[in-house]
Structure 1
Amino acid sequence: MQVDALDRVIKNAIDVMESSKYQIFEICESVRAERTALNNELQHVIEETTDTIDKVDKYEMEYRRARMRLTEVSRDFKRFTEEDIRAAYELATQMQTQLAMLREKEVHLKARRDDLQKRIKNVDRQLERAETVVSQVNVVLEYLSGDLNQVTRLLESAKNRQLLGLKIILAQEEERKRIAREIHDGLAQTMANVVLRTEIAERMLTKHAYSSVKEELRDLKGQVRGGIEEVRKIIFNLRPMALDDLGLIPALRKFVQDYEEKTKISTRFDLIGKDSRLPSGMEVAIYRLVQEAFSNVLKHAHASHITLEVTFQQQMVKIVVSDNGVGFAVESIDKKIERGSHYGLMGMRERVELLEGRMEIQSAKDAGTKVSLLIPIKLTSKEE
């Protein structure tokens, strides 16, 4: 999976969720406004219903009085005239009509009140659901911006580890090529020459040239010794035996000495503090870091002098490699390391990070370079 593509997917998802969040928030605000309006209307309907009920009660009493009056005037024709009877009848009829209208209004208002109460309950449920959705969207956004960013970092780390793995494979192949060249140019040529000189000695023996054979065998013995020395150097470069037998400092001393003899670059080794054995893996890692630092000086610095300083502290080992070479702009090298195009320094930095340490580079054009490696000591006993 392409990390950049995943980043775009995550960012698009976050944008969509942010947009949805604000839309849902607007819906919530709209629902809240509707709820407020319904509450206001419900309050008005309740007040009007209460007023109507009071009027109904009042008109019922008036209607009962009007009927009693109508009954009274209808029974006593001697006391009340026809006009009195007609007036009592009209009043009773009017009260009956008003009461019927008020009762109908009361029923309508009660139905309206009940409907508003139901609508408010529905709106409350919608508002609750909308607020829940907003809360869930916030959780998703936090997950997208938090956990998935962590996933991106993990994928980026996996990508870096894959690149590192490829670089390790390339480094191994380069090391194999170097060993093959050393064997071809050194040991293989020596052994071929031994075979040739042996054949010459055989021919001389058939001619009884014993003095010449003796001289030839002496030269042959020297070449064999040289071949053995070459094999020992190859083996030492693959895995310095002094590192296992004597420890880091003697192995570094031997390496610095051999480096000076081979490259003709003046070297100095300084030890500060008390030498102590480190875990085997840590000693190998430090040794390879120093090898890589010296190799970088040889390839790029054009230096005439190198200093290796190893400082043992209670919980830290500090390794400083300084040269008087051409130097460089540290910012440009940092960019190359970030782009993965400076394998030497990048490999050193990754080795140091694996040891949970820190690498610092100080350099300037025509002012030499100083590489400091700070590695914490967490294990006190030597690893088996």
Structure 2
Amino acid sequence: MSVDVFDRVIKNAIDVMENSKYQIFEICENVRAEREALNKELQLVIEETAITIDIVDKFEVDYRRSRVRLTEVSRDFKRFNEEDIRAAYEAATQLQAQLAIHREKELHLKMRRDDLQKRLKNLDKQLERAEALVSQFGVVLEYLSGDLHQVTRLLESAKSRQLMGLKIILAQEEERKRIAREIHDGLAQNMANMVLRTEITERMLAKEAYSAVKEELADLKSGVRAGIEEVRKIIFNLRPMALDDLGLVPTLRKFVQDYEERSKISTKFELIGKEVRLPSGMEVAVYRLVQEAFSNVLKHAEASHITLELTFQQQMIKLTVTDNGVGFNTAGIDKKITQGSHYGLMGMRERVELLEGRFDIQSEVGAGTKVSMVIPIKSESKEE
């Protein structure tokens, strides 16, 4: 097949995929808009439900008192006449009717709340699938939109290089998707909630409910602080600045401490040998490997203790992550990783291989897991 024919085929495919990508993107935007509207409605329903529950509780107390009063006047004919009994009966009947009405309203609001929560959950699933499709289309379009002559040369040379390039692009898109989801699920939700709380505060000010306004402002202040912490966490996950300022070992110590506080899993960090500053890219890669290893333990191992051992030698560094979790059967693990059934391990192995290192797993069911990674330090690294 000539380059011109190949070029024409690729361009037609790109046009079709571009149109499909924008259609899916419009679907995503519509789902997001619907989700935002439903979320606002849900917040209002939750607020109204809380108010209705308080009213029902008050009516229940008043109704019990009226029943006691009715019993009292009905028994004591000396102190109370027929008019007193009728008044007590009418009061109890009226409170009973009001209580029934508000109980019905409470039941209706709770059903509405549950229905909105289910719809929001379904919309989240639809949005996740649509975003995955957009991401996949973006990856393929970026790959196809490159230099077609270069693509032809890649096709004629090593197939493994093509696959590696595609995996790198996929990894980039997955990272972008992860960051977008963190912002959407964390910071964006907090900001939307603060806008809603501000509107509620405005309504309270109109009613001169100053004590309630003070409480709402305190909650808003806490929400802003939580948003700031979320931004700092996202920035740190993108690029730990401590790597540039302090180096790999202090950054890993801080990561291990934060992990223990967050996950409640006991951790231990051991340094063997004398620390040597590595190239910036290699330090980031090592840090990401530790992140992924600890994340896998949290998701799958059910462990109560993790040990990170970092060994510096003249021509290599060695990372060893050991946990006391449930473990697994390693029979055929290399094939499973290659086939992509263990995504976390597959990503770690690919990172190590890009650094021309070795990756090894030792595990038994019920006996924990040990992941070892050996990464060579090249001569130019040592000079740096």
Distance of 1:158 and 1:236 partners within structure 2:
37
Partner of residue 311, structure 2:
311
Residue 260 in structure 1 maps to residue 260 in structure 2: yes
The amino acid across from 2:170 in the alignment is: L
Q: By how many angstroms is 1:373 displaced?
A: 1.2
DSSP 3-state at the match of 1:329? coil
Q: Does 1:239 align with 2:233?
A: no
1:352 aligns with 2:352: yes
Q: CA RMSD in A?
A: 2.6
Q: 1:256: how far off?
A: 1.9
Q: Name the count of aligned residue pairs.
A: 230
1:173 deviates by 3.5
CA drift of 1:211 comes to 4.0
Q: CA deviation at 1:257?
A: 2.4
Distance 2:241 2:248 in 1: 10
CA contact (8 A) 1:279 1:381 kept: no
User: Tell me, what secondary structure is at the counterpart of 1:202?
Assistant: helix
| 1: CA distance, partners of 2:324 / 2:155 | 41
Report 1:1-384 matches (<5 A): 158-378=158-378, 379-382=381-384
Contact 1:355–1:376 (8 Å) recurs in 2: yes
Deviates more, 1:229-238 or 1:250-259: 250-259
User: Aligned AA for 2:243?
Assistant: L
SS at match of 2:332: helix
**Do the aligned residues in 1 keep the contact of 2:328 with 2:365 (CA within 8 Å)?**
yes
Distance 1:365 1:185 in 2: 35
Offset at residue 290 of structure 1 (A): 1.1
Q: Deviations over 1:352-376 (max 9, x none)?
A: 2222222222222222111111122
% same residue: 81
Shift in alpha-carbon separation, 1:156–1:344, aligned structure 2, 3 A: farther
Q: Is the CA contact (8 Å cut-off) linking 1:309 and 1:320 kept in structure 2? A: yes
Show CA shifts across 1:190-237 (max 9, x none). Answer: 111211222233333344444443332222111101111011111111
TM-score (norm. length: structure 2) = 0.54
364-373 or 198-207: bigger deviation: 198-207
Name the amino acid aligned to 1:178. R
**Structure 1 Cα separation of the partners of residues 335 and 326 of structure 2:** 19
Counterpart for residue 6 of structure 1: none
Q: Distance in 2 between matches of 1:248 and 1:157?
A: 38
**What is the DSSP-based 3-state SS (H/G/I as helix, E as strand, rest coil) of the residue aligned with 1:350?**
helix
The offset of 1:285, in angstroms, is: 0.9
1:126-169 Cα offsets, whole Å, 9 max, x none, are: xxxxxxxxxxxxxxxxxxxxxxxxxxxx9899323333333333
Change beyond 3 A, Cα 1:164–1:296: farther
Q: Which residue of 1 aligns with 2:137?
A: none
**SS of 1:330 mapped into structure 2:** coil
Task: Give the Cα separation in 1 of the matches to 2:302 and 2:155.
Answer: 39
| Cα gap change, 1:170 to 1:263, in 2 (>3 Å) | farther
Seen in structure 2, the aligned counterparts of structure 1 residues 218 and 369 have a Cα distance that, compared at 3 Å, is: same
Deviations 1:269-291 (A, max 9, x none): 11222233211011011011111
C-alpha separation between the residues in 2 aligned to 1:192 and 1:223? 11
What CA deviation, in whole Å up to 9, does each residue of 1:223-276 have, x standing for no partner?
101111011111111211212222112221222223233333222211222233
For residues 156 and 263 of structure 2, the distance between their equivalents in structure 1, rounded to whole angstroms, comes to 40
Q: Which amino acid in the other structure matches residue 286 of structure 1?
A: V
Segment drifting more, 225-234 vs 319-328: 319-328
CA deviation vs aligned residue, 1:60-100 (integer Å, no higher than 9, x gap): xxxxxxxxxxxxxxxxxxxxxxxxxxxxxxxxxxxxxxxxx
- What amino acid maps onto 2:294 in structure 1? F
C-alpha distance in 1 between matches for 2:157 and 2:318: 27
Partner AA of 1:258 in structure 2: D
The 3 A distance-change label for structure 1 pair 328 and 377 is same
> Does the Cα contact within 8 Å between 1:179 and 1:234 map onto a contact in 2?
yes
Q: Distance in 1 between matches of 2:156 and 2:256?
A: 38
Letter in 1 for 2:290: V
Structure-2 change in CA distance of 1:164 and 1:199 (3 Å): same
8 Å CA contact 1:273–1:312 kept in 2: the answer is yes
Q: Distance in 1 between matches of 2:218 and 2:327?
A: 49
Relative distance call for 1:347 and 1:221 in structure 2 (3 A) is same
Alignment gaps of 5+ in structure 2: 2-153
Structure 1 residues 300-332: Cα deviation after superposition (integer angstroms, max 9, x where no partner): 323222111111223221110011122233341
